[in-house]
Amino acid sequence: MSHWFTRSQIWQRYKVGVLLSDFADKAKTLLEAGCFVYFVREYCIEFSVCMGPSMLPTFNTRGDVLLLEHITTTWGNVRVGDVVLARSMQNPKQIVCKRVLGLEGDEVRVAPSTQLGEGRIVKVPPGHVWLQGDNTLNSTDSRHYGPVPYALIKGRAFLKVWPLHEAGLIRSYVPEPFGYSSNRR
Amino acid sequence: MQPTLNPEPATGHDLVLADKWSIKLYRYNRGDIVLLRSPEDPNMMLIKRLLALEGDWVTIPGSLELAKIPKGHCWVEGDNPEFSADSRSRFGPVPIALIEGRVRYILWPPSRVGRVASHVPAGRLLVKNDDALTDSSHFGAF
């Protein structure tokens, strides 16, 4: 027994097919865009906010918007003086923003203070870095919890985006032991 | 991690399935097998058993010492104490943020396909900090 579709039935089916393929096309584009955004955020560049008083002369307390790049960190090219964002040693949910002041094998001098006790010299063990905030008086950093594993570094902050009047490249430098000269642009 | 994983290394390595999503949601328990980055080498991944979380006290076998786990850290150990570079033999407590996945299933070899059991060796955990973040501190289940 044979069955014949009427002309309108064929037309109907054709239209549904067109709709479906159109939908598939859109879904594919969306998926591709999602993959692209994920790739860029995870491996290239990401926006981030740095809050708190620990980086005070360089960044404000209220929260500065930074651009973060992952290329330097994935290739292991972080240098002394770079500003990095790292996952906190004390709270896995938190991300801290600090300056790298020592790489593996370096010897770092911790100045004596009332909080930390006597001054000491620490050798940074392999696979670790020494992170310290620019605001030495109000920063919880490697001086408190010791060297930080390199794997915790998320990325290097290289550009300040907000506030607009301070926007610009973030300078990489090692602060002098007593106060700073001008480092704000 | 013998005898849990690779019980006979001569016959080849085990293939396991790790769940990264539950770590993103901070869901882990004492006794889980976890995948973490080595604190000594950022390019190396380790598979160890998570023994203790922040605020816990662990005993160290073969010595009278105790270790207190500082804030934000955990204690990881291999199941085979003789051949394991872990918190006990090398690096002490490691930051929880280094954990990247929770090993849930063995996929290969076919004879041992199945779920990986989670357990804490008896007598190791001396004091358990109930405030530490674990799977049960989250409300409901995903």
pLDDT for res A185:
32
pLDDT for res A1:
56
3-state secondary structure of A59: coil
Say which of A91, A93, A151 has its CB closest to residue B37: A151
What is the least distance, in Å, from the CA of B37 to any CA of chain A? Answer: 7
CB < 8 Å to A103, chain B? none
Tokens of A40: 């860029």
Question: Are the C-beta atoms of A184 and A58 separated by less than 8 Å?
Answer: yes
Q: Is residue A146 part of a domain?
A: yes
pTM of the model: 0.83
Using the Cβ of B98 and the Cβ atoms of chain A, whether some distance falls under 8 Å is answered with yes
Using the Cβ of B131 and the Cβ atoms of chain A, whether some distance falls under 8 Å is answered with no
Q: Is residue A53 part of a domain?
A: yes
Burial class (CB in 10 A: 0-12, 13-18, 19+), B69: buried
* pLDDT mean for each 10 residues of chain A (185 residues): 74 77 92 96 92 87 91 91 94 92 88 77 91 89 92 94 90 68 35
Using the Cβ of A149 and the Cβ atoms of chain B, whether some distance falls under 8 Å is answered with yes
pLDDT for res B140:
46
What is the least distance, in Å, from the CA of B75 to any CA of chain A? Answer: 14
Q: What is the mean pLDDT of residues B79-84?
A: 86
Q: Can you tell me which residue has the tokens 């934000």?
A: B72
Distance between alpha carbon B29 and the CA centroid of its chain, in Å?
9
Q: Is residue B133 part of a domain?
A: no
- Residue in A closest to B36 by C-alpha: A151
pLDDT for res A177:
62
More confident residue, B8 or A36: A36
Largest Cα–Cα separation, chain A: 98
Q: How many CB atoms lie within 10 A of CB B138?
A: 13
- Give the ipTM: 0.85
Q: Is residue A151 part of a domain?
A: yes
Q: Could you confirm whether A54 is annotated as catalytic?
A: yes
Q: Which domain holds residue A91?
A: 46-169
Tokens of B81: 């104490």
pLDDT for res A68:
94
Using the Cβ of B137 and the Cβ atoms of chain A, whether some distance falls under 8 Å is answered with no
- Counted domains in chain B: 1
Q: Which domain holds residue B28?
A: 9-116
pLDDT of residue B136 exceeding 80, the answer is: no
What is the least distance, in Å, from the CA of A114 to any CA of chain B? Answer: 22
Question: Are the C-beta atoms of B55 and B123 separated by less than 8 Å?
Answer: no
Predicted confidence (pLDDT) per residue in B16-62, tens digit: 999 999 998 888 999 999 999 999 999 999 999 999 999 999 998 88
DSSP state of B140: S
Q: Is residue A133 part of a domain?
A: yes
Identify the CATH number of the domain in which residue B20 sits: 2.10.109.10
Q: Could you confirm whether A98 is annotated as catalytic?
A: yes
Identify the CATH number of the domain in which residue A103 sits: 2.10.109.10
Q: Is residue A1 part of a domain?
A: no
Q: Is residue A41 part of a domain?
A: no
Q: Is residue A33 part of a domain?
A: no
For residues A117 and B54, give the distance between their C-alpha atoms in angstroms, rounded to a whole number: 25
- Counted domains in chain A: 1
pLDDT of residue B3 exceeding 90, the answer is: no
Predicted confidence (pLDDT) per residue in B93-117, tens digit: 999 999 999 999 999 888 889 999 8
pLDDT for res A182:
36
Q: Is residue A8 part of a domain?
A: no
Q: What is the CA radius of gyration of chain B?
A: 15
Q: Is residue B3 part of a domain?
A: no
Q: Choose, from A8, A98, A113, A123, the residue flagged as catalytic.
A: A98
Question: Are the C-beta atoms of A30 and A112 separated by less than 8 Å?
Answer: no
